[in-house]
Amino acid sequence: MVKLYHKELLSASGFFGEICYNIPMKDLVSIHDLSRQEVSDILDLTAKIKAEPLNSERLKGKSLALIFEKPSNRTRVSFEVGMFQLGGHAVSLSAEISKREAIEDVGKTLSRYVSGIMLRTFEHDKVVRLAHASSVPVINGLSDLEHPCQALADVFTIREWQGRAGKSKEGQGMKVAYIGDGNNVCHSLMLACAKTGLNLFIATPKGYEPAAEFMDKEGQITVVNDPVIAAKDADVIYTDVWTSMGQEQQRKSKNAKFKGFQINAELVKLAKPDYIFMHCLPAHRGEEVTDEVIDSKNSVVFDQAENRLHVQKAILCLLLGGNK
């Protein structure tokens, strides 16, 4: 069973003038814990933050501990820069901190020093345990089960594109095709699409489908084993690496099984002419996607990467509190 941590009520209101948000967030372990309205509020707050000047003191005097058990580029930089731009401070810690002592003891100790904790790890259960033990908010920066910050940035990027393209904000009728491994990114994307009205088609080889627990009844989610079905008339085509961190020994065998699932010029011809291509990065160019696609005018990959910063700033404001 999927282990999720349901949060206590935290009133986070009045950060942005007349806009008032009351989102019941103590931690962000899973998008499963957020209602449709709460996800919408996060996206609205992200849009406002992105449009505002960078100088801010909303998190003045606040600190965030960052624990990395997995290598990081976008997660590390976006959280550190986000805290700086909000007037706070980030402390990056190595994986050794959670190897020397129980994760519960880490959480209890850090709670005496910092305003929040971000953990990027392998085992999802470790994030759950840390959240239970800590008296300050805990953010899942990635686990083997979910990547909630990435998925929120993904649906925000889609919403931005919808606005530029003059499409419905509610996303009714929008088809998102995720073609690749049914991994942690796929799981969180399933939850995020379900809560934002996006129709998600997942195409993956047999045996690599996402966990059944993520088939949220709220959303329109279809799982197939044919990338052509998913790509046909898609508004969005999304992929991720076929071999995630920690699975390097499987790369050769997975490449063989996923060979027909590459996002290339032929496959994207099936999508709508104004489709957008998305990838959470890092990309293994020449494997899951060709240069021709990722560097095309339809690619919003680096807008998507930038939006990690803005979405996480919204999350930090809601979780850590701040001044107007």
Place of tokens 């696609």: 293
150 included as an active-site residue: yes
120 included as an active-site residue: yes
Task: Answer whether 44's CB lies under 8 Å from 196's CB.
Answer: no
Distance between CA 147 and CA 115 in Å, rounded? 21
147 included as an active-site residue: yes
Tell me which of 280, 304, 310, 312 is the catalytic residue.
280
Query: What single-letter DSSP state applies at residue 29?
Result: S
Amino acid at site 244 = S
Closest CA to 315 of 26, 114, 107, 100: 26
Tell me which of 41, 74, 149, 150 is the catalytic residue.
150
308 included as an active-site residue: yes
Tell me which of 32, 129, 147, 159 is the catalytic residue.
147
- Beta-carbon contacts of 10 under 8 Å, excluding residues fewer than 6 positions away, are 23, 24, 25, 26, 137, 318, 319
Tell me which of 33, 41, 181, 240 is the catalytic residue.
240
Task: Answer whether 150's CB lies under 8 Å from 129's CB.
Answer: no
Distance between CA 146 and CA 184 in Å, rounded? 4
Tell me which of 308, 310, 312, 317 is the catalytic residue.
308
User: Among the residues of the chain, which ranges form H helices?
Assistant: 36-51, 74-85, 97-100, 103-110, 124-133, 148-165, 184-194, 227-231, 251-257, 265-268, 291-294, 301-320
Phi and psi angles of residue 263, each rounded to the nearest 5 degrees, phi first: -85, 110
129 included as an active-site residue: no
105 included as an active-site residue: no
Place of tokens 């009045």: 14
Tell me which of 32, 58, 120, 159 is the catalytic residue.
120
Output helix, strand, coil percentages for the chain, rounded to the nearest 5. 40, 15, 45
Distance between CA 90 and CA 88 in Å, rounded? 7
Distance between CA 312 and CA 319 in Å, rounded? 10
Catalytic residue annotation: 120, 147, 150, 240, 280, 308
